[in-house]
A = this chain, B = another copy of it.
Amino acid sequence: MLTRYPGALEMLNRKMGGLDRLSAQQRRILSAVPIRVVEFGANREIIRAFDRNPHSCLLLQGMAYSSKINERGSRQIVAFHLPGDFLDLQSFYAQVIDVTVTTTTLSKVGFIQHEDLEELATDRLFDRAMAQSIVIDAAITREWVFNLGRREGVSRTAHLLSELLTRMRDIGAVQGDQFELPVTQVQLGDALGMSTVHTNRCLKQLTTRGLISWIAGCLRVLDPVALAQIGDFEDDYLHIRAAA
């Protein structure tokens, strides 16, 4: 299950500020960081809640989500992770992790030891890149609170899809407003705080209105502007540079 994967370093470079902002020295430091790459099948737990791992993970390929489950069996997905995202960087700062991270599809994950991150964090730029990653994740979570608290089904669904479109576009995974979305409606419902049945009906409404078309795990956004409008979506909170 353990393989070498050349994309790992590129992801780390990107996450730590982008190649253009890094000095030759900094790039040398990054390339020396040991990254253990592991491939996971679909629906595999990468990180389990309450664990105290000596490492944090970077998603290299595929897709994953963070979820919380209570003893009554209710599950709520609290974040979706796309390639290039840290999955559990918070465990580097808080030692313990409060969510379970699971793949939705075949994925590659890079494991970095905390002691190596510790070493990296001595460089101010790297330190800030990691902190910023956490801050942006937190901003997304706050927007989810708004989404769950103040938007009804159809709008809520449209907002989440708009967020995913925007983030997918940022990492270059969107072509012609179309992208792979390896997520089931059950998972989507768990993220939206809605039942599967209701999620299905909301998606159908968006489809009927000609806004989206979701076939075979591939989402095509037919009218991104209208979708964003119905979903009351503004992309500022994602902190995506206009240059990207």
Contacts and interface: CB of A to CB of B under 8 A. Distances in A.
Contacts of A70: 146, 150, 232
Nearest to A189: B149
A15 interface: no
A52 to B, nearest CB: 12
A213 to B, nearest CB: 26
A104 to B, nearest CB: 18
Contact of A141 (B50, B96, B127, B138): B138
A134 B145 contact: no
A19 interface: no
A78 to B, nearest CB: 5
Contact of A148 (B79, B145, B232): B145
Contact of A98 (B121, B139, B151): B139
Q: How many copies does the complex hold?
A: 2
A93 B142 contact: no
Contact of A90 (B135, B144, B193): B135
Contacts of A232: 70-72
Contacts of A142: 66, 68, 78-79, 98-99, 141
Grouping DSSP codes into helix (H, G, I), strand (E, B) and loop, the A interface class, with mixed when no group exceeds half, is helix
B76 A149 contact: yes
Contacts of A144: 145
A244 interface: no
A149 B156 CA distance: 12
Nearest to A136: B94
A239 interface: yes
A50 B236 CA distance: 9
A78 B145 contact: yes
Interface of A: 50, 66, 68, 70-72, 74-76, 78-79, 90, 93-94, 96, 98-99, 121, 127-128, 131-132, 134-139, 141-146, 148-151, 190, 192-193, 232, 236-237, 239
15 contacts: A68-B142, A68-B143, A78-B142, A78-B145, A79-B142, A93-B132, A94-B239, A127-B127, A131-B131, A134-B135, A138-B138, A141-B141, A141-B145, A144-B145, A145-B145
